[in-house]
A and B are shown apart, each in its own frame.
Chain A
Amino acid sequence: MKYVLSFFFMALLLLNAKLLLAQQPAIAGLRFDYKKYYLDQRKKKYTGTDTIEVVYRFTNSGTQPLLIESVSSSCSCSVPDYTKAPVKPNETGYIKLTTTYDKLSLIKKVHAVVIANTKEKYYKLELFLSGKDNVNP
């Protein structure tokens, strides 16, 4: 009898866990490798109208396909590009900001707002004209 009750209790626990899992909404997740990028001029010296391209890679950390709905830059001096197709769970995509050194050196930093089909929905990516102590992740 004791064995039957124990078995029944375990089955109930498993059923509850399954029900809880089923209640979790299946959603996409968006995890960036980094969201801030500091232009490191120790590796490459930028001058004048040199083009600066920064790629922010991300992974779909959720259970549904991830869709980047839009990316908008804080200023017309930078142009965003991004993975347009849905990104499957555990797969990666990118968001790229392109600007020129002379424009970035005027305003020191730009940011882009990313809208995606996740719970958070909004993300901010930043590009800074580096200080010497700034090191990228």
Chain B
Amino acid sequence: MKYFLHCLFITFLLASCTSEEAPVTEKIVLRNIQFHELNIDTLLVEPPARSGSGFFRLSGNNLYFFDDIFLTVSVFDTAGNFVQRYLGKGHRPDEIEDFLFANFLADSSLVFLGKSYNISRYDQQFTAQYQVDMDWNRKANIQYGLSDGDKTGTYGYNYYNGFYDNRWLSVIHQNKLIIPIWISPGVNSRLNAFRNYEAYYERAKTVGVVDLRSGKVEKIFGRRSPAYKKYGAIPNYDFLTLDSRLDSIYVSQAIDSMIQVYGPDYELAYEFGVAGQNMNTSYPTAATPMESEKIWIKAFTDYGYYYNVYCDRTSAMIFRPYTKDESNIGGLQIYEHAALIADVAVPKRFNIIGKIGEYYYADGLVNEDQLGLYRFKLP
């Protein structure tokens, strides 16, 4: 009997050690709908030159358009008047070599990520401070495999390059950039969203913490939603967006109605959320990168997924836009704390970037014909 109990105890211990089950966290599904529509204004702007590609950001009382082809930043007031233009391609301190992502930090200085994810910092006057490469601690002579889900070297920046722009950058603890991460088949041929995708969904981390000064990826954490397993191999939707407020990190995964909230210790604290309305979730599967490439336009234009999350620093509001299907109408969910207070129709590409006075501003109208933002007040 003693021998039997001993075996049972060891078996229990082994089972505990090898379990891949996600820890149980509190899940809040709460509706407290307060309004059903928004009155949205459009604010068109006209910089001296525009390429038709880029994104808007907001700082202080001004609106900024980051043109990622001309590498310029055009400033506008809230009436849409052009104020000034900064940067441009070049090597001088008032220029920039390239950028793909950008955002203002709390002190109105800037952080940029280049096409190779190198970090560039600029001060409030758009003068270069320093540039540093992101350091993933990747070993060139190592073949990363199935058991390497905990190694930073097997990861890279998870940029889905979709249609509605998710190039938001967020910082926590003042100098730690938090970024979405994934495992490329080119770096790890055994553990990725194509091959062994179930193991990938279970083991691969979702968020990286990067020191802004050194560029070092210091920590990786986060779990993919269990919802991914339900859909099978859907590599086109293996992306997430994130934002931070105070010491919490909010993670919204493309196909999961729940928003994960991680605490300052990077542990999952709780999840909340309600599914968007009328979302086409019959996601197309793809077993190889080539198959994924063939369907990527349709995957991004014809199906329903969550493509951004924004936390208002001045209130308890959280905004999450999503697509529904191939129509031009998207949805915007507005949460107060963890409760959904509105789910309203908005144009596709409706990324909240901040608030000036009573107005929230959203990026936007960015194409060759028009350049502008949306704005609205909460009822």
Contact = CB atoms under 8 A, between A and B. Distances in A.
A120 B48 CA distance: 5
A119 interface: yes
Interface string A94-137: 00000000000000000101010001111110000000000000
Q: How large is the interface on A (under 10, 10 to 19, 20 to 34, 35 or more residues)?
A: 10 to 19
A74 B49 CA distance: 18
Nearest to B67: A122
B71 to A, nearest CB: 8
Contacts of B151: none
A113 B48 contact: no
Q: Say whether chain B's binding surface is mostly helix, strand, loop, or mixed.
A: loop
A90 to B, nearest CB: 22
A72 interface: yes
B270 interface: no
A115 B89 contact: yes
A111 B52 CA distance: 12
A115 B88 contact: yes
Interface in A13-55: none
Contact of A119 (B48, B51, B69, B89): B48
Nearest to B70: A122
Contacts of A123: 49
B103 interface: no
A121 B49 CA distance: 7
Instruction: Report the interface size class on chain B.
Output: 10 to 19
Given A122-B70, A124-B69, A124-B70, A113 B89 contact: yes
A111 B70 CA distance: 11
B152 interface: no
A134 B88 CA distance: 31
Contacts of B89: 70, 72, 113, 115
Contacts of B49: 120-123
B51 A124 contact: yes
Nearest to B52: A124
B72 interface: yes
Contacts of A74: 69
A74 B338 CA distance: 44
26 contacts: A70-B89, A74-B69, A111-B69, A113-B51, A113-B69, A113-B70, A113-B89, A115-B88, A115-B89, A119-B48, A120-B48, A120-B49, A121-B48, A121-B49, A121-B88, A122-B49, A122-B51, A122-B67, A122-B70, A122-B72, A122-B88, A123-B49, A124-B51, A124-B52, A124-B69, A124-B70
A115 B88 CA distance: 9
A70 B70 CA distance: 12
A70 B89 CA distance: 10
Q: Determine which residue in A72, A74, A120 has the highest number of CB atoms from chain B within 10 A of its CB, and name it.
A: A120
Contacts of A119: 48
B52 to A, nearest CB: 8
A120 B67 CA distance: 13
Nearest to A119: B48
A137 to B, nearest CB: 15
B46 to A, nearest CB: 11
A120 B85 CA distance: 11
